[in-house]
Amino acid sequence: MVRGISLIYGLYLLLPIVLLMIGSVGGNWTNTLLPTGITGQWYVDLWLDTSFRKAFVSSLVVAMSACAINTVLALPLAYALYHGARRGGSLAARIVSATPVAVPAITLAFGYMIVFNTDLAPWLGSMPLLIAAHAILTLPYLTNTLLADLRHLDLGRLEQAAATLGASGWQQFTGIVLPSLRQSLISGLVMVAAISVGEFGVSNLLTSFQNRTYPVVLLQAFYGATGFACAATVILLVLASASALLSSSLVKQRA
């Protein structure tokens, strides 16, 4: 019974992906169950399309920038939340943990549109605003990853031992906390990059024509040839899957 349900669930998840891969190499797919013919022309057309190449670069720039900003913000934030929770002040940690669920990305995007589409702050459609939105959107994921690792490692004892030897708070943070969080930081950043690369709602509302990300351009592909749209989707799927697998392998090594 359990195996049967698992099999059906697996097929439900994998069947669209398999159909996309088949469609990306299919010659013609119109009013048939499966495409007819085999071709690699869709991938060639995708490579020759400058809008997709530019969108691909824009997505990587936004994702890498969001990772850099999150690294600066999430490390001290998680550290402060960890010590706050130990002292009983866990409300802030709970708010950060619930933010990705309690505040949908579309709500964040509409808030940015209202605030940054004024004469005082006319930055709607700019690349810095898009990067800031992705950084804020993904910050809770990295913070939660670091916070969970801090609780698992229970660094309080090591910090107390270092304090008895005369180490300052900064020396404890750089000498004990940062080296201990190195692997969870890397796996968290890979997850942030994967979320940012595949994010569509915020990007579609905040981006301009010059700064369109890959998922935004991908939507337009579905109004053209089916094979071209399938090939473009497969590229996005490969990029996001590679990030997810890398993150998962890092977590397993940590365990």
Summarize pLDDT for 36-58 with one digit per residue, the tens: 888 888 899 888 889 888 988 89
CB 237 within 8 A of CB 17: yes
pLDDT at 128 (0 to 100): 92
Please compute the mean of the pLDDT values over residues 141-153 and round it to a whole number. Answer: 86
Residues in Cβ contact with 108 at an 8 Å cutoff, skipping those fewer than 6 apart: 133, 136, 137, 202
In this prediction, residue 69 has a pLDDT band, given cuts at 50, 70 and 90, of: very high
* Cα–Cα dist 114/51, whole Å: 28
Other C-beta atoms lying within 10 Å of the C-beta of residue 56: 19
* Cα–Cα dist 191/251, whole Å: 11
pTM value is: 0.80
Nearest Cα residue to 77 out of 61, 97, 62: 97
Least confident stretch, 51-55, 70-74, 101-105: 101-105
Encode burial over 64-89: b for 16+ CB neighbours within 10 A, e otherwise: bbbbebbeeebbebbbebbeebeeee
With the C-alpha atoms ordered 14, 16, 17, 23, is the resulting torsion angle positive or negative? positive
* Cα–Cα dist 142/75, whole Å: 9
pLDDT at 243 (0 to 100): 65
Most confident of 26-30, 112-116, 224-228: 112-116
Summarize pLDDT for 162-195 with one digit per residue, the tens: 888 888 888 888 888 888 888 888 888 888 888 8
Mean pLDDT of the chain: 82
Longest dimension (CA), the chain: 75
The 3-state DSSP class for residue 125 equals strand
**The residue to which tokens 């990705």 are assigned:** 100
**What type of residue sits at position 184?**
S
Nearest Cα residue to 59 out of 191, 187, 200, 190: 200
**What type of residue sits at position 167?**
A
In this prediction, residue 90 has a pLDDT band, given cuts at 50, 70 and 90, of: low
